[in-house]
Structure 1
Amino acid sequence: MMCFDAATKEVKPVKDFRSVADTVAAEIASGRLGPGQRLPPQREFARLHAIADSTASRVYQELARRGLTVGHVGRGTFVAAAPGAPVPAPALSEPAAHRVDLELNHPVVPEQAGLLAAGLEKLVRPDDLESVLRPVGPTGTPAAREAAADLLARGGGRPDPERVLFAGNGRQAISAVVAALTRPGARLGVEEYTYPVLKAIAARLGVTLVPLAMDEDGLIPEAVEEAHRAEPLHAVYVQPVLHNPLSLTMPARRLDQLADVLLTSGIHAIEDAVWAFLRDDLPSLSSRAPEHTVLVDSLSKRLSPGLSLGFAVAPAALEGRVTAAVRSGGWTPMRFPLEAMVRWQEDGVVATLVRAKQREAGARQAIAQRHLGDFRTRSDPSSYHLWWELPAPWRSDTFVAAAARHSIAVTPAAAFAAGRPRGPHAIRLGLASPTREVLSQTLAALAGLARSAPDDFAGD
């Protein structure tokens, strides 16, 4: 096929995308393009090979179809591991095109599906299904409130069932409580490293986050007082147990100090207890300052992400505001997960799965210690996440990009920073989602990567 080049007044052959793909494939096979090497952006590739942008796009599609490259949105296209090609860091046993996600964190244990299925069988009987599918509001049902109070009990304390409210999931429960306690332009105090979803919720509601200093025991109460004196805080969001991402847990003394600050200042706290089921022997902040704390939690981490349900335990003075926020946000729950939760709680399924997931967390922490024990990490034997301060000269952004070349997704410290990113170059690893075998292979790959020298592709 030929075409007329207006610039040179010459008739030139048109390159077929397959032939260009063959050329790149030959470079990969010969080792001139090594595993993990980044291909140029498609427009630059088109100029280098004197082809149209559309042809370059088809070349990249063809290379991906052959399994020779892997594309990552926002990062580029990289050479996949080729047979016989040298690998600069330990490779995963599964193909590079299969992404290993250490960002999301959904604990799963082998017995989970069977235990949950047994409880659901009762719900799908014709005589029960009609009632299960009826609408329900934020207050749920009396049976659901009692079951939720039992499920949320820990450290010898049990919430008042009359104070339990429900939302569609944990994120919606947080959104509703933030909306109830603040207004656009309000100041919400948060730990200096905080849950990334909260940052998005605050931005959507027009709320300003105020980063508060932390130490080895978690949020520093004096930091709350100092920020409140400078300009009043409307509320404080805190994760007292197995803080995400640092896995810190507040000791009883710190809980008492923070409760005193809430009582003397009149500030309300939003206590995120989503990971607290892994340390259910510990008391809650809401048990220390019940009239100044709204506890939020969810069903998904305990049981399964496929059946979500959010909880908000609000003091009587705030119940109406939280209920109104759930309704106005369109965050009312479905009745089905409420009824399922009641049965699973009554049948002992919740307690069985909680114990299994507590044991599984310990096993995964042992795997992490085996591969990353020589590095600076922070975690807890009961936690499903791990904070890793990267060795120099690695930076968070370059390491995240380099990990992506091995089809591993990790989260940089900046995603958790409430203010301007600062402090160590670190990443958070979620240990829950892969199988144990894949987790071990993945952490071995990351350890090998950390021991190698950074390349310069991330700055392109």
Structure 2
Amino acid sequence: MDTILAHYVPGAGRSKFRDVVAAIRGAIAQGVLEPGDQLPPVRDLAWTLGMTPGTVARAYAALTDEGATEGQVGRGTFIARPQPPVQFVPEPWVESTLAAEGDEQISLFATALPDMGQVALIHDGFARLAERAPRDLLAYPSRAGFAPARRAVLHWLEGAALGPIDQEDIVLSHGGQSGVSLVMQSVLQGRKPVVLLEELTYPGFRRAAQILRADVVSVPMDAQGIIPEALADLAQRHEAQLLCTCPEVHNPTGMFTPEARRRDIARVARQLGLHVLEDDCYRLGVARASSYRALLPDLGWYVSSLSKSLTPALRIGFAVAPRAHATTLRRAAEHGFFGLARPLADLTEDLLQRPETMAIAEKVRARLQSYTRVAVNGLGGYDLRWGDDVPFLWLTLPEGWRAGSFTKAAASRGVQLRSAEDFALRDARVPHAVRIGINAQIPLGRFESAIARLRDLLDNPPDGMVV
């Protein structure tokens, strides 16, 4: 008891609960409290400090959650003893059962982010939520109440080259896919609207359009992205209302559409009154060219999220409307789901306004880059598209391989990939290629092993495969 009292400073934190946590942490840091030492009973410490038992119990629980203490049923709370490092164990849904018996299965089906401190930051963010005003948990979400969160998002999007923008142009969504749906609801009209998609494209565009009973038409591409002449022809022929594109980091090829090509595409859209939705979820660095929202102030829409930079678990996304359509986008969200849950909006505000978050995002980016370099070293002799700020690779297969056959052969060797066919519409030409996701949740050695298996498969195709 005296040990904790010696480190207890009332008012040092933002609440009594945090003061207790800080006192115990300080005693542990100075070695005054050692592993195995028992903390005072909750009621005794609460009486001594002049606070409720619930406050002390909450402090003990927070310390246990972070691993500083451990509870023993019927005995009390003790300073935790050092534990061996926890090894990452993939969830059952991450690991496929397609591998042959005895093989180590490694999923490169999608990007998987490493924990570079964001989990602890999120835990702390949830703890801060408990200090919010009780009235915020007894009312429907409101536009005004979410203004601080939107301002935090505005700060987060500073590297996106969005043109003139303020927080009123932003709508919080349940991840990037929800943002895509909100934009389509805001734009599409009539009984059978038409949405134009790149001939290889993010499947979520197609699914969102189908839910709204819209037809989808693929637009041919070249090495710089959408071909403007083909876009003009198809948009007029089908009376299309919306084009969906990923110009910064094209999903699935990793292609970048340069400024000059974007301006040509924007010119076509402006002439035809075609809305353009830009999905920017995969960009990890600063934007290298103007967004379509900047190039098309009346027709350009933008969607992004935290899923590829911090975590996909929270489902935090944001959609940005052209100035003339901000009210329409806001109504689509309010009429559809009344807005995010208030705690989630508050957590968004907390995360995005903290300087640690930007630093952690940079660490995530750097770790992904280290995995990318391993993949390039292993597969660089083949037709491989990659980038330092692209969390996946695009492998065009050697002659003789088909994408479906290669993914099956890779799975038989314990490596799960995604075929180009997954990203194509029925009428689009499909290259013989695969997307390789950077799975940074597995040790780098396991990732290197997966790349080596793919290299061996390319170097030594099954008999009769190469023509």
TM-score, with structure 1 as normaliser: 0.73
1:201 is aligned to: 208
- Opposite residue 363 of structure 1, the aligned amino acid is S
1:170 is aligned to: 176
2:150 is aligned to: 145
Displacement of 1:236: 0.5
2:53 is aligned to: none
4+ runs of 1 displaced by more than 6 Å? Answer: 75-78
2:221 is aligned to: 214
Q: How does 1:93-172 map to 2 (within 5 A)?
A: 96=104, 99-125=105-131, 127-128=132-133, 131=136, 134-136=139-141, 141-154=146-159, 157=163, 159-172=165-178
Moved more, 110-119 or 295-304: 110-119
Change (3 A) 1:270 1:311: same
Q: How does 1:198-277 map to 2 (within 5 A)?
A: 198-277=205-284
Displacement of 1:77: 7.1
Distance 1:100 1:140 in 2: 44
| Structure 2 SS opposite 1:172 | helix
Displacement of 1:148: 1.2
Q: Does 1:298 align with 2:268?
A: no
Displacement of 1:395: 1.2
TM-score, with structure 2 as normaliser: 0.72
| Structure 2 SS opposite 1:279 | coil
- Opposite residue 189 of structure 1, the aligned amino acid is L
1:453 is aligned to: 461
Displacement of 1:441: 1.3
Displacement of 1:392: 2.9
Deviations 1:414-450 (A, max 9, x none): 1111343534311111114542232211111111122
1:80 is aligned to: 101
Aligned partner of 1:317 among 324, 335, 343 = 324
Change (3 A) 1:78 1:344: closer
Q: Is the 8 A contact 1:390 1:425 kept in 2?
A: yes
- Opposite residue 173 of structure 1, the aligned amino acid is G
Distance 2:229 2:194 in 1: 17
Q: C-alpha root-mean-square deviation of aligned residues, in Å?
A: 2.8
Q: Is the 8 A contact 1:189 1:236 kept in 2?
A: yes
Aligned partner of 2:389 among 369, 382, 391 = 382
- Opposite residue 177 of structure 1, the aligned amino acid is V
Change (3 A) 1:132 1:193: farther
- Opposite residue 127 of structure 2, the aligned amino acid is E
1:363 is aligned to: 370
Structure 1 unaligned blocks of 5 or more = 1-70, 82-94
Q: Is the 8 A contact 2:185 2:332 kept in 1?
A: yes
Displacement of 1:265: 1.6
2:434 is aligned to: 427
Q: Is the 8 A contact 1:138 1:326 kept in 2?
A: no
Displacement of 1:226: 1.6
Change (3 A) 1:331 1:429: farther
Displacement of 1:283: 3.2
Displacement of 1:252: 1.8
- Opposite residue 101 of structure 2, the aligned amino acid is A
Q: How does 1:5-84 map to 2 (within 5 A)?
A: 79-81=100-102
Distance 2:203 2:372 in 1: 23
Distance 1:405 1:103 in 2: 14
